[in-house]
Amino acid sequence: MLSRIGIIGAGAWGTSLASVLQRAGNDIVLQAHEAETVDSINVDHINGPFLPGVLLDPKIYSTTNLDEATNADAVLLVTPAQHLRAVCEKAAPGWSDDVPAIICTKGIEQNSYALMSEVVAATLPRKPMAVLSGPTFAIEVARDLPTAVALACNDEALGKILMEYMNSRHFRIYRSGDVVGAQIGGAVKNVIAIACGIVEGRGLGENARSALVTRGLAEMIRLGVAKGARPETLSGLSGLGDLTLTCYSMKSRNFSLGVALGRGKALDKILDERKSVAEGVYSASSVTGLARELGIEVPICDAVNDVINNAGDIDTSISELLSRPLKEETK
């Protein structure tokens, strides 16, 4: 039975999860990297730096101490993907082996091309784990608007326990046994969202965006299946659901970044102006690197990676995508 849940990472998503899980009846310890965030949550009951304007329950307790967060019945990992390995290594000494890790971070590690579950398995061996993913904007979850997500866990019994104690009236959880699929969907959709944002910024129309979403889903499924995912997972909440949400709203950090790029703004300037992380910027090279390792074609992700990491010309990338050899849709 869960009663105390630790959350490592007090950005917008971590704070929103703290709110929804506290409403579900759990005691929450929310670990933040910044002392100013801790003070804002504990004293003013808001997360001013990352989720301004949302009043938090005074029962939510924040700390900079990792050991306080891991002294729990379950721990949610909500750190940026490229920092997860270092955070897990630092948290490991005070984290009991019987306390499950719930991965809420979306991305693929750069250079190693490891999924977040593979990072956790390497740094926190013997820990039970699950993955929480799906179409979620943090601000809507924090405001208790209806949301549905997938909880993927290889251990059916653990998955049922976690689902029961994390579910609430407006935060509906569906259980899955496909840990790989839940992660591939969450990583790839961020890259496709940047592409869709570029299309919006360039004024190329809704037809083009619809084509990108559909063909982006095909890339997601191809990559997922090659990595061991079930194709039906990628047609569900953590795949298609998350993809459509992220590709159609300025609330999406990745979509809005793509819009700015499409309008001609330099990437470094966009990033300098932001406090929150747009994971697609970092996942672009990881997704394409993993695809190369697995021998999978991901032309849309390749184009985004070229623009993000190789200073590729946007109009040239669009032209190259449109001039690819003709093929059957389902191949």
What tokens were used for 87?
């955070």
What tokens were used for 92?
């490991």
Measure the CA angle with vertex 158, ends 157 and 162; round to 5°: 125
- 63: phi then psi, degrees, rounded to nearest 5: -155, 160
Q: Among candidates 70, 77, 73, which has minimal Cα distance to 93?
A: 70
Residue 6 CA: distances (Å) to CA of 62, 125, 221: 10, 19, 33
Q: Which of 160, 189, 251, 269 is catalytic?
A: 189
Strands 129-133 and 147-152: antiparallel
Element (H, E) at 223: helix 206-227
Task: Calculate helix-pair angle for 116-123, 84-91, nearest 10 degrees.
Answer: 30
Element (H, E) at 229: none
265 is an active site residue: no
What tokens were used for 15?
């704070």
Q: Which residues, in sequence order, are bridge partners of residue 129?
A: 101
Measure the CA angle with vertex 152, ends 147 and 157; round to 5°: 110
Maximum CA pair distance of the chain? Answer: 60
**Whether the Cβ atoms of residue 33 and residue 68 lie closer than 8 Å to each other:** no
What tokens were used for 147?
């949301």
What distance in Å separates the CA atoms of residue 235 and residue 231, rounded to the nearest whole number?
A: 7
Q: Active-site residue numbers? A: 189
